[in-house]
A and B are shown apart, each in its own frame.
Chain A
Amino acid sequence: MKYTIAALVENKPGVLARVASLFRRRGFNIDSLSVGRTEREDLSRMTIVVEGDEKVVEQVTKQLNKLIDVIKVSDVTKNAVERELCLVKVNVQPEKRGEIIELANIFRARIVDVSRDSFIIEITGDEEKIEAFIDLMRQYGIKELARTGKVAMARGSKK
Chain B
Amino acid sequence: MRAANALAKALVEEGVEVIFGLPGGAILEVYDALYDAGVAHITVRHEQAAVHAADGYARATGRVGVAMATSGPGATNTVTGIATAYMDSSPIVVFTGQVSTNLIGNDAFQEADITGITMPITKHNYLVTDPKKLLSVVKEAFYIASTGRPGPVLVDLPKNVTAADIEYNYPKKVVLEGYKPSYEGHIKQIEKAAELIMKSERPIILAGGGVKWSNASEELLKLAELIPAFVVTTLLGKGAIPEAHPLCLGFIGMHGSKYANYAVQESDLVIAIGCRFSDRSTGKVSEFAPNAKIIHIDIDPAEIGKNVRVDVPIVGDAKRVLSKLISYIKYKRRKEWEDKINELRRKYPLRYKKDGFKPQYVVEKVCEIYPDAIITTEVGQNQMWAAQYFKVKYPRQFITSGGLGTMGFGFPAAIGAQVAYPNKTVIDIAGDGSFFMNIQEIATCVYYSLPVRVFILNNGFLGMVRQWQQLFYRERYSATCIGCREHSFEKIAQGFGAVGMTVEKPSEVEDVLRELKDIDDPVIVDFKVDQHANVLPMVPPGKALHEVIDEEVE
Report if A38 contacts B (CB, 8 A): no
How far is it, in angstroms, between the C-alpha of A69 and the C-alpha of B144 when the chains are bound? 12
How far is it, in angstroms, between the C-alpha of A72 and the C-alpha of B178 when the chains are bound? 7
Which among B115, B127, B178, B305 is the interface contact of A69 at CB below 8 angstroms?
A: B178
A25 & B120 in contact (Cβ 8 Å cutoff): yes
A17 & B177 in contact (Cβ 8 Å cutoff): no
A66 & B302 in contact (Cβ 8 Å cutoff): yes
Report if A22 contacts B (CB, 8 A): yes
Report if A143 contacts B (CB, 8 A): no
Report if B62 contacts A (CB, 8 A): no
Q: Contacts A10-B178, A59-B306, A71-B178 hold; do A66 and B300 have CB atoms under 8 A apart?
A: yes
Q: Contacts A59-B306, A65-B302, A68-B144 hold; do A21 and B119 have CB atoms under 8 A apart?
A: yes
B124 & A68 in contact (Cβ 8 Å cutoff): yes
Contacts of B506 in A (CB 8 A): none
B-facing residues in A15-38 (Cβ within 8 Å): 17-18, 21-22, 25
Closest to A58 in B: B305
Instruction: Report the interface size class on chain A.
Output: 20 to 34
Contacts of A62 in B (CB 8 A): 301-302
Closest to A26 in B: B120
Closest to B304 in A: A62
Contacts of B124 in A (CB 8 A): 67-68
A67 & B301 in contact (Cβ 8 Å cutoff): no
How far is it, in angstroms, between the C-alpha of A10 and the C-alpha of B175 when the chains are bound? 13
B178 & A21 in contact (Cβ 8 Å cutoff): no
Contacts of A67 in B (CB 8 A): 124, 178
Of A14, A55, A66, most buried by chain B (CB within 10 Å of CB) is A66
Q: Contacts A58-B305, A62-B302, A66-B302 hold; do A17 and B144 have CB atoms under 8 A apart?
A: no
CB-based A-B contact count at 8 angstroms = 36
Contacts of B246 in A (CB 8 A): none
A68 & B176 in contact (Cβ 8 Å cutoff): yes
A18 & B302 in contact (Cβ 8 Å cutoff): no
Which among B119, B301, B306 is the interface contact of A18 at CB below 8 angstroms?
A: B119
Q: Count of B residues near A, CB < 8 Å? A: 17
How far is it, in angstroms, between the C-alpha of A10 and the C-alpha of B179 when the chains are bound? 12
How far is it, in angstroms, between the C-alpha of A123 and the C-alpha of B176 when the chains are bound? 39
Closest to A66 in B: B302
B302 & A59 in contact (Cβ 8 Å cutoff): yes
How far is it, in angstroms, between the C-alpha of A67 and the C-alpha of B507 when the chains are bound? 55
Report if A70 contacts B (CB, 8 A): yes
How far is it, in angstroms, between the C-alpha of A25 and the C-alpha of B123 when the chains are bound? 14
Q: Name the distance in Å between B218's Cβ and chain A's nearest Cβ.
A: 29
Q: Name the distance in Å between A52's Cβ and chain B's nearest Cβ.
A: 14
A-facing residues in B120-152 (Cβ within 8 Å): 120, 123-124, 127, 144
A-facing residues in B263-303 (Cβ within 8 Å): 300-302
Report if A63 contacts B (CB, 8 A): yes
Contacts of A25 in B (CB 8 A): 120
18 contacts between A and B (CB under 8 A): A14-B115, A18-B119, A22-B120, A58-B305, A59-B302, A59-B306, A65-B302, A66-B300, A66-B302, A67-B124, A67-B178, A68-B123, A68-B124, A68-B178, A68-B179, A69-B178, A70-B178, A72-B178
A residues contacting B by CB (< 8 A) are 9-10, 14, 17-18, 21-22, 25, 55, 58-59, 62-63, 65-72
